[in-house]
Copies of this chain bind each other. A is one copy, B any other.
Amino acid sequence: MSIATSEVTNRRDPARTRERLLMAGFEEVYRAGFQGCDLNAILGKAGVTKGALYHHFNSKDALGHAILEDVVARITEQKWLEPLRTSDTPLDTLIAIIEGTFTDDEHAAGGCPLNNLAQEMSRVEEGFRARTAALFTAWIDTVADALTRAQAQGALRPNIDARAQAQFIVAAYEGYMSIAKSLKSGAVLEAGVKQMVAHLNSLRPEDSHG
């Protein structure tokens, strides 16, 4: 065995190459949409050639699928799913996540990466639709679980439908993101955060919300 087992950046580093393609692809897709983005632009940004791309992915669609499964899923996992799953104060964590939304115009204009791809590609290619649907479902499920746990703790009224509320929260969140993107308005996002947090607080058992 030589010294160079890992950590070192060999000229041959398939994992790194694949990761660079995914990140560059994500950024370009986020900018121009999937159909609107250019493979050569992705290659330029990633610093690899078309041969490398088509070694790791056998079509542009396959790259898009991988971007959803790896990059977008990872972002969702880090920002929403993981914190919610590990929290023992789920409702507070949920509110904190929502309040953690970046509300500058720059971020607003970008929109939600998941929703961007879902809206553009769902009717165009089934692979995209299935993958975005899986991510939405996992997202809603995890929020619903968190709300159910909050209910078990007595932090949430027992008569509310956790699943319906989870759908409501995710829908409202994506809706605000959509409108804010079109209006290039971080202010819309701020108002949305306030509104959603107020709504969640109104679901607490003994509350003062007049």
On A, residues with C-beta under 8 Å from B are 31-33, 35-36, 109-111, 115-116, 118-124, 129, 132-133, 136-137, 140, 159, 164, 167-168, 170-176, 178-179, 181-184, 188, 191-192, 194-195, 210
Contact = CB atoms under 8 A, between A and B. Distances in A.
14 contacts: A32-B124, A33-B123, A33-B124, A35-B35, A118-B178, A118-B182, A122-B182, A133-B184, A140-B179, A167-B188, A171-B172, A171-B178, A174-B179, A178-B178
A122 B174 CA distance: 15
B123 A120 contact: no
Interface SS of chain A: helix, strand, loop or mixed?
Answer: helix
Copies of this chain held together in the complex: 2
Given A36-B124, A164-B191, 13 more contacts: A32-B123, A33-B35, A111-B119, A111-B122, A111-B123, A118-B178, A122-B181, A122-B182, A159-B210, A171-B178, A171-B192, A174-B175, A175-B176
Given A119-B119, A119-B178, A173-B175, A167 B191 contact: yes
